[in-house]
Amino acid sequence: MAVRDSWRYVRAGLITLVLVLAFVAGWPARIPKLVRAWPPALARVALLLPSLQEKVLTPFAPAAGALGITSEDWALFTGTGGTRYRMWIEGRAASGEWKLLYRAHDPEHAYLGGALEYRRVMNVWNPHHDWISSSYPAFTRWVARRAFRDFRRLRTVRVRMEEVRILPHGAGFEPSGRFAYEELLRREDVAP
Amino acid sequence: MIERWVAFWDRREAPYSLALVRILLGTTLLFDLLEAGYFNVVSLLWAPAPSGAGWNASALPTPFGVRVLGASAETARLLWWFAVLACVLFTLGAAYRFTSIALVFALVEIGACQPVRDGIDALLHIVLAVLAVSGAGEAWSVDAWLRERKGKKPRVIPAWPRYLLFLQVIWVYVSAGHQRGHTWGPFGSFSAVGDVLGDPHFARFTPGSLARFYPLMVLGTMLTMTFEVTSPLILLWTWFERRPERGGRLGDFARRFHLRWVWLAAGASLHAGIALSMNLGIFPYGVLALYPVFLHPAELSAALARAPALLRRRAA
């Protein structure tokens, strides 16, 4: 009975610790951005939080890492609109024009559409503001290898992102004709 | 005060709410994992270059599977199979104590090999760790069925894992709500939902095809923000329902207008709307799978007891 009673206190203590750590881990990583418009005195105090956060969490990082827990900061869809991207995948035979294989939201060109739009794959290629995964080049090699296997005449595959402007009032987007994150892959470069 | 705090975390209850979370979340995750197999992207996601875009040697720490078996497409496939198997057993509640830990381990392994993880991955890691130490396998499970066959009585379980998950879901909303950019507010004309539906990478329907419903998109943005920022109030609404004698006029108001159920319905609608209109993978389903934590097990078992009679009445 005494053990059970002690355990109740230990467990409540551990849960309290978890709640405190979760709260500290939830302080936004975007604090410097969030406090830009704050009164300077308040912003200075807020800017102390990231280093305090690190000091508090560091001793517990190995335990969190073992469970794959990275953060309690849920910055989901913080920014929308403005410049976005639309992925194009094209292929070209030895002497010929580029042929569009896949373009986001283009039912006429949906090669590997299901796989590319599967959320774990999409995370690899979808640019986030000015950032793209460091695995993007490896992804383009994988795409090219699949395309060369499925289309025997192709010699080159190109993967790139067209910049698009999101239109107001839910009117969709406007293509810009400008491209970023372009990767050009030749058959001999990606041979298995 | 301390004694009340300790007593609160020592409460026990029937296992139905957490068992339902186990089944819904396990099914969602299983579907997500099977999609990787169906689309033949296991190597892409979890194998190193040149066969994939997954684990690379600069990543720390090295996953256990990679340390033991080496980094290869075969290791990626093995880890995926292990995760699928653990997920099936977890969902069925078979050898739950072991399989829930195995699933946590499997997700940590594939998470470490995966190049990019999103919000639902991060949430799953936390939730599954809590579920693994809970009694979610004590009902509607293979374990419970076997125990029943041996003539043993159903067990009550500690309530604290449900309370923690309850707080976790609220925190996701609060944290997300407070970090939204200007397009989610009046200075951005509440354009956020309309913007997402115009984004070729996230829109489910042809961007621009729903423009005539733009006022609804603005309303959706407003409701999403209101819902997220005020989500801690669900604690108050729940407490008022549990304690009909407390809360004064506000409590009476909340009970009279069923504010707890209004909040739950708003949350469910929000996620159903996301699932219907946006390509965000399992995110909306994964969060909805956690909603049973907002229900007391007694409410759930009462609803289930009423269900057959309701169905019979409908059929008659």
For A28-59, the pLDDT digits (tens) are 888 888 788 888 888 888 899 889 999 999 99
Spell out which residues of chain B touch residue A9, defining contact as CB-CB under 8 Å: 6
* B86 pLDDT tier (thresholds 50, 70, 90): very high
Condensed to tens digits (0 to 9), the pLDDT of residues A118-148 reads 999 999 999 987 789 989 999 999 999 999 9
Sort B104 into a burial class: Cβ within 10 Å, 0-12 / 13-18 / 19+: buried
**How remote is the C-alpha of A68 from its chain's centroid?**
17
Q: Which of B50, B129, B206 comes nearest A69 by C-beta?
A: B129
User: SS3 letters for A139-191?
Assistant: HHHHHHHHHHHHCCCEEEEEEEEEEEEECHHHCCEEEEEEEEEEEEEEHHHCC
The rounded distance, in Å, linking the Cα atoms of B27 and B173 is 23
A151 Cβ under 8 Å from any chain B Cβ: no
Domain ranges (residues) in chain A: 2-66, 83-189
Secondary structure of residue B185 in the 3-state scheme = coil
Structure tokens at A10: 């230990």
Distance from the Cα of B208 to chain A's closest Cα (Å) equals 4
- Residue positions counted in chain A: 192
Q: What is the CA radius of gyration of chain A?
A: 24
Residue A22 has pLDDT above 90, yes or no: yes
Residues 6+ apart with CB under 8 A from B91: B22, B23, B26, B27, B30
List the structure tokens of B15: 């296992």
Residues of B in contact with A128 (CB under 8 A): none
User: Which chain B residues are within 8 Å of A139, Cβ to Cβ?
Assistant: 44, 53, 115
Interface test with B, best of A17, A21, A120, A149 (most B CBs within 10 A): A120
Instruction: Give me the mean pLDDT over the B13-37 stretch.
Output: 97
Pick B6's closest partner by Cβ from A9, A65, A77. A9
Q: Which of B43, B51, B211 sits opposite A169 (nearest CB)?
A: B211
Of all helices (H) and strands (E), which one includes residue A99?
strand A99-103
Interface test with A, best of B2, B43, B105, B116 (most A CBs within 10 A): B116
Cα(B51)–Cα(B220) distance, integer angstroms: 42
Question: Quick one: pLDDT band at residue A192, thresholds 50, 70, 90?
Answer: low
Give the tens place of pLDDT for each residue, B227-276: 999 999 999 999 999 998 888 999 999 999 999 999 999 999 999 999 99
Count the helices and strands in chain A (H runs, E runs): 8, 4
Which of B38, B45, B207 is facing A105, going by the closest CB pair? Answer: B207
Q: Which of A22, A119, A142 sits opposite B52 (nearest CB)?
A: A142
Of residues B297, B258, B26, the one with CA closest to residue B162:
B297
Instruction: Find which of B4, B32, B34, B44 to mutate to test the A interface (most A CBs within 10 Å of its CB).
Output: B44
Nearest to A66 by CA among B288, B112, B143, B311: B112
pLDDT band at A186 (very low <50, low <70, confident <90, very high): very high
Q: What is the structure's pLDDT at B49?
A: 83
The interface predicted TM-score of the complex, written ipTM, equals 0.91
- Chain A (118-137) residues lying within 8 Å, Cβ to Cβ, of chain B: 118-124, 126, 133-136
Using a cut of 0.90, tell me whether the model's pTM lies above it.
Answer: yes
Among A residues 47-66, those touching chain B with beta carbons less than 8 Å apart: 65-66
Model confidence at A10, in pLDDT bands (50, 70, 90)?
Answer: very high
Of B218, B237, B217, residue with least CA distance to B278: B217
A92 forms beta bridges with: A156
